[in-house]
């Protein structure tokens, strides 16, 4: 099978490797679509993300969809949940599987991701896709899940007001999720004009109209964090979802303290795939429209460079092309 494997920053090599052999409880999946995420760009640009560094050549990609290639479910189209929690630790037992310290996550640490033709994955982490959800949309269920996790952590009052700082794919999905969940208005803050236009097309307004109940930071830089803190009302809530390049978050403590803000941190997502699939299948969330570029494995480096320029919205790799 063909595989794209990252050896160090900007050294991604496409080659042939043996197909994986499914273990007990696993299915072999033929990967049809895998999105390039901001975290993948961290791996490519820095050979690291947060406090995790590239210890060995790694297959990236955790936003994936495919078709089960063998076994009783052969032929079933699925979305791949990239997280494999241990199910034994305290966070798992308490229902916070996204906080599992022993989680295996596609394209991270010792676990190869989905930028390859075939992947063996636990069958309980393979979610059937309805016929109304395309393979491209199936890959984008993961970032939609992160947006849902953000909304869950935001505790937005029904009819409340929100701001989204950073309108990449997750930020745009967050705009839609907030509107669906009852926000009376969503302010979008984004320096790139085409992304700001996309947010406006989803129902966000782009001119400041006072302080909001909850601010969501989805950009991964200090200016965005400070903007979120500045724009939220006293007693409000700030949800930080961005991942900074230097693994440091800084803001003016006096502003946050005097407002008495609650700050929540996003760690991927909990068990939200069923909700994400239902939203996509019902048409309440449009995922295909976010895909502005597609490439095969042979063009993976070009695809990463294009994604890094941020001239579009979402770049998707199609390993079967």
Q: Is the dihedral of CA 206, 189, 180, 185 positive or negative?
A: negative
- DSSP result, 163-176: EEE--SHHHHHHHH
* Residue 134 CA neighbour count, 13 Å, CB half: 15
pLDDT digits (tens, 9 = 90+) for 103-138: 999 999 999 999 999 999 999 999 999 999 999 999
pLDDT band at residue 15 under the 50/70/90 scheme = very high
For residue range 152-211, list pLDDT tens digits in order: 999 999 999 999 999 999 999 999 999 999 999 999 999 999 999 999 999 999 988 799
Express as a percent the part of the chain with pLDDT over 90. 94
Residue range 2-140+287-317 forms a domain whose CATH class is alpha beta
Map out the domains of the chain as residue ranges: 2-140+287-317, 144-265
Cβ 175 vs Cβ 196: under 8 Å: no
CATH architecture for residues 144-265: 3-Layer(aba) Sandwich (3.40)
User: Residue 76: how many CB atoms within 10 A of its CB?
Assistant: 17
Q: What pLDDT, on the 0 to 100 scale, is given for residue 115?
A: 98
| CA dihedral angle for residue 87, residue 139, residue 113, residue 40, rounded to 10 degrees | -110
């Amino acid at each position: 099978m063909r595989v794209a494997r990252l050896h160090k920053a900007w050294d991604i090599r496409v080659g042939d490797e043996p197909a994986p052999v499914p273990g007990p409880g696993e299915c072999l999946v033929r990967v049809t679509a895998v999105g390039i995420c901001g975290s993948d760009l961290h791996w490519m640009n820095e050979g690291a993300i947060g406090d995790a560094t590239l210890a060995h050549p790694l297959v990236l990609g955790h936003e994936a969809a495919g078709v089960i290639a063998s076994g009783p479910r052969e032929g079933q189209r699925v979305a791949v949940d990239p997280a494999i929690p241990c199910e034994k630790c305290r966070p798992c037992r308490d229902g916070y599987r996204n906080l599992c310290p022993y989680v295996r996550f596609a394209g991270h640490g010792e676990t190869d991701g989905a930028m390859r033709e075939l992947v063996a994955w636990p069958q309980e982490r393979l979610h059937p896709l309805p016929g109304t959800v395309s393979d491209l949309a199936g890959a984008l269920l993961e970032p939609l899940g992160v947006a849902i996790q953000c909304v869950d952590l935001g505790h937005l009052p029904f009819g409340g007001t929100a701001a989204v700082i950073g309108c990449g794919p997750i930020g745009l999905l967050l705009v839609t999720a907030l509107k669906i969940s009852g926000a009376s208005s969503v302010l979008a803050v984004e320096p790139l004009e085409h992304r700001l236009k996309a947010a406006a097309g989803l129902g966000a307004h782009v001119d400041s109209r006072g302080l909001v109940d909850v601010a969501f930071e989805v950009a991964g830089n200090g200016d965005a964090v400070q903007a979120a803190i500045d724009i939220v009302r006293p007693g409000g809530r700030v949800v930080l979802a961005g991942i900074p390049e230097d693994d440091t978050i800084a803001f003016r403590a006096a502003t946050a303290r005097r407002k008495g803000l609650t700050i929540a941190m996003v760690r991927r997502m909990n068990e939200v795939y069923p909700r994400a699939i239902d939203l996509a299948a019902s048409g309440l969330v449009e995922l295909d429209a976010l895909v502005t570029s597609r490439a095969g494995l042979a063009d993976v480096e070009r695809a990463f460079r294009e994604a890094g320029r941020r001239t579009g919205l979402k770049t998707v790799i199609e390993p079967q092309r």
